[in-house]
Amino acid sequence: AGPARPARLGLCAACHGETGIAQMAGAPNLAGQRLDYLRAALAQYRDGRRNVAVMRAAIGPVSDAELDALARWYSVQSPAAAQAQP
């Protein structure tokens, strides 16, 4: 079994989908992305090195532990379904 569904998943899923298939133009697929990369990207959105207002706002109230649970969730989702989407 993979990781438990993170409590804060809904916050991410609006744009990235529950399984990491993007639901919105401009948002990347996250399914199956490397965990180290997801962790680094989240740290960069948090501290502003990646200056993206929507991401900074979204993760602002999320604890580091919750954020890591979300990164782990997406890293183990199957990326296969991504191919069907433009």
- In this structure, the number of other CB atoms found within 10 A of the CB of residue 82 comes to 18
Q: Does residue 22 interact with its own copies by CB under 8 A? A: yes
- Which candidate, 19, 5, 18, 8, places its Cα nearest to that of 60? 8
Q: How far is the CB of 82 from its own copies (least distance, A)?
A: 4
Q: Does residue 61 interact with its own copies by CB under 8 A? A: no
Q: Does residue 23 interact with its own copies by CB under 8 A? A: no
77 burial level (CB within 10 Å; 0-12, 13-18, 19+): buried
18 burial level (CB within 10 Å; 0-12, 13-18, 19+): middle
**34, 47, 57, 64: residue in contact with its own copies (rule CB under 8 A):** 34
Nearer to its own copies, 4 or 25 (CB): 25
Q: Does residue 14 interact with its own copies by CB under 8 A? A: no
Residues of the shown chain interacting with its own copies in the complex, contacts defined by CB under 8 A? 22, 25-29, 31-37, 40-41, 49-51, 78-80, 82-83, 85-86
